[in-house]
Amino acid sequence: MGTTDTGGAFGRGFWALAPLWLGIIPFGLAFAVTARAAGLSLLETQALSALVFAGSSQFSAVGLIAVGATGLEIVLTTLLLNVRHLLYGLSLGRILRLRRRERPIAAFFLTDEAFGITARARERSFLFLLGVELSLFMMWNLATLAGFLLGAAIPDPTKLGIDLIFPLAFLALLVPIVRTRAEVLVAVGSGALAFGLQKSLPGGLPILLTGVAGSLLGAFLTRRTPVDTTIDFEAAAREVA
């Protein structure tokens, strides 16, 4: 019974992200085409998708490589773009009880999409999260490989309007999560702040500042909400195991 349940959790996570493949594939193709145009080899391009595994950071890195930026500039820029994952990790840490050996794996494969799917899911397990993460990892890397091999035969997906897929997908993920007045205020306020900041601040600063501001606003609005002190004995037993 346990084996079946764990296998089912991974599969449910894997297929929960499948609807977002429609947005992942075009941008994986576009990244590979961009990397190839910047002079990167197939191995270098694929290594970025396998080891960095962060679309916005990869596009940024390739753009900086193309203009001759230094290694330090590339590292600092990509680090800034990915700081938001610290907030994702803190949030997931409140809803998932991960064992020590599971945490680095979950952290490495964590993405915006994986966080969104897992945060709204009712299932709370490492295998579900891992299924979500590897679903995206597999498709992103396959799209990267296909994009590099096909090269110039692929048109720019952004010119076809495909760049609207991710915002619409995230909106679909957000709506079911927002239930209370405080959550509505945080969502609307954060969206307005991000929209305003992205016009004047570079890189990942708008996302980082919006995440911090939204967290503080949420904490302020829920400061009088009673803390749930219920002990989850089943989860505690898994943690010890």
pLDDT in tens, 117-128: 898 888 889 999
Cα dihedral sign for 27, 29, 31, 34? negative
Q: So where are the chain's domains?
A: 2-162, 178-241
Contacts of 44 (CB under 8 A, 6+ apart): 35
Q: 116 — phi, psi (to 5°)?
A: -60, -45
CA distance 54 to 26: 15
C-alpha closest to that of 62 among 50, 77, 80 = 77
Q: What pLDDT, on a 0 to 100 scale, did the predictor assign at position 228?
A: 46
Record the pTM.
0.74
Q: What pLDDT, on a 0 to 100 scale, did the predictor assign at position 165?
A: 58
Residues lower than pLDDT 50 in the chain: 1-4, 227-241
Contacts of 38 (CB under 8 A, 6+ apart): 62, 63, 65, 66
Q: What pLDDT, on a 0 to 100 scale, did the predictor assign at position 43?
A: 96
DSSP letter at 194 equals: H
Q: What pLDDT, on a 0 to 100 scale, did the predictor assign at position 152?
A: 65
